[in-house]
Amino acid sequence: MRLAVIPARGGSKRIPRKNVKEFCGKPMLGWSIDAAMASGCFDEVVVSTDDPHIADVARVFGASIPFIRPADLSDDHTGTIPVVRHATQWFCDEGRAPESVCCLYATAPFVRSADLRRGLELLDTTGSDYAFSVTSYAFPIQRALRLTSGNRVQMFNPEHFTTRSQDLEEAFHDAGQFYWGTAQAWLEGRTIFTPASTPVMLPRHRVQDIDTLEDWERAEWLFKAMQHEEGA
């Protein structure tokens, strides 16, 4: 059994009701559910939530709500791994133990079904614990600056002040879209960012964190531009 778990709690602070706020014509959560359904990867697409309204929206888009997420896994400090472990264990306890589980974020409207399929293929063929979405930094992180208490600047790595950008090692970061993992990796709480994981590379223009209203507006502009380019 292959399972999609979409975490979507109701307590978003910076953008209230972010998971069900309308984004380019549908609730944000709907884009993730649609991508999961269209991928053909999953036997079941589950939304893990503590919020009845989010549960209702998820059902409209075809996801299942087999349980309500416990309160102790629904606060501001609960990480992704415990939430997915809870969902995975629930299915194991029901006699429907999954072999692989994909955590798909509810606020990932740029996720594509083809990327989910690619992630599953990499998980199956590389023997990794996880296969997750990654993209490259647009600027060398070795030349990053910090602001000091006196409103001045300071390099994190001053030894690279004269190093040419093209001579610095390229760096990558979590794209924050999806994380395929073996059921055993989730159940054991294995760390995702280790050599036991493999990257699913995404282009930078399809990666956007959505944590503030400014992020939201930028994401909508990018999304609409891509839809126009693709003739959608």
Q: How do residues 113-143 score in pLDDT, each as one tens digit?
A: 999 999 999 999 999 999 999 999 999 999 9
Tokens 């692989």, located at residue: 100
The whole-angstrom separation of Cα 33 and Cα 109 is 10
Listed as own residue / partner, the contacts of 215-220 with beta carbons closer than 8 Å and 24 or more positions apart are 216/15, 216/21, 216/23, 219/23, 219/109, 219/110, 220/23, 220/24
Contact 138, 165 (CB under 8 A): no
Residue 155 is predicted with a pLDDT of 97
pLDDT at 228: 76
Instruction: Please state, for a pLDDT cut of 90, what percent of the chain lies above it.
Output: 88
Mean pLDDT of the chain: 95
Whether the pLDDT of residue 16 is over 70: the answer is yes
What does the pLDDT average to over 204-210? 92
Q: What is the pLDDT of residue 133?
A: 98
The CA distance from 204 to 134, in Å, is 9
What is the structure's pLDDT at 232? 59
Q: Is it the case that residue 49 has pLDDT exceeding 70?
A: yes
pLDDT at 10 (0 to 100): 84
Would the pLDDT of 197 be above 80? Answer: yes
Mean pLDDT lowest among 11-15, 194-198, 215-219: 11-15
Strands (E), the chain: 2-7, 22-23, 26-27, 44-48, 100-104, 130-136, 145-147, 153-155, 172-182, 197-201
Name the band, by pLDDT with cuts 50, 70 and 90, for residue 224: very high
Mean pLDDT of 36-64: 97
The string of pLDDT tens digits covering residues 77-117 is 899 999 999 999 999 999 999 999 999 999 999 999 999 99
pLDDT at 2 over 80: yes
Domain at 2-135+172-229, CATH from 3.90.226.10, 3.10.310.10, 3.60.130.10, 3.90.550.10 = 3.90.550.10
Number of Cβ atoms within 10 Å of the Cβ of 192: 18
Query: Residue 70: which pLDDT band, with cuts at 50, 70 and 90?
Result: very high
Per-residue pLDDT averaged across 8-13, rounded?
81
What phi, psi does 134 have (nearest 5°)? -140, 150
The whole-angstrom separation of Cα 115 and Cα 126 is 16
Residue ranges covered by each domain of the chain: 2-135+172-229
Average pLDDT on 157-162 reads: 96
Check pLDDT > 80 for residue 229: no
- Residue 231 has a pLDDT of 72
